[in-house]
Amino acid sequence: MTATIEVTKIEEQAKGRLLFNVRANTAEARIDFPIGIQRLETPVLDEAAVLRSTLQFAEELTAALRLRLPPEPVAPERRPEASGARLQPSAPAAVNAGAR
């Protein structure tokens, strides 16, 4: 299932700031993100700025989560020795005898 995203303006704050709620509905959960932005020229630009901020937040959250999780074990069928492949030492690079 793909997540659905809803963007709702919650309030106008001082100095041209806008507060939005971004709701993500996924198969696993429903999460609300409050995102504040500086008001832009149109509601369409405001929503685009909110979505960009949400995407940046999601990317940073993903990176932080990956750092916290233990590494995933490699499945036995994906290991090189399981496929019968042998690691071969690489051949020495050819030496250009004419160069000095």
Residue 8: inside a domain: yes
pLDDT at site 75: 77
* Average pLDDT score over residue span 64-91: 72
Q: Residue 46 sits in which domain range?
A: 4-69
User: Rounded distance, CA 10 to CA 24, Å?
Assistant: 16
Q: Number of folded domains in the chain?
A: 1
CA 30, CA 32: separation in Å to the nearest integer? 7
User: Average of pLDDT values for 74-79?
Assistant: 72
Q: Which pTM does this prediction carry?
A: 0.62
Pairing of strands 30-38, 4-12: unpaired
What average pLDDT score do residues 2-22 get?
Answer: 90
Looking at residue 30, its pLDDT comes to 92
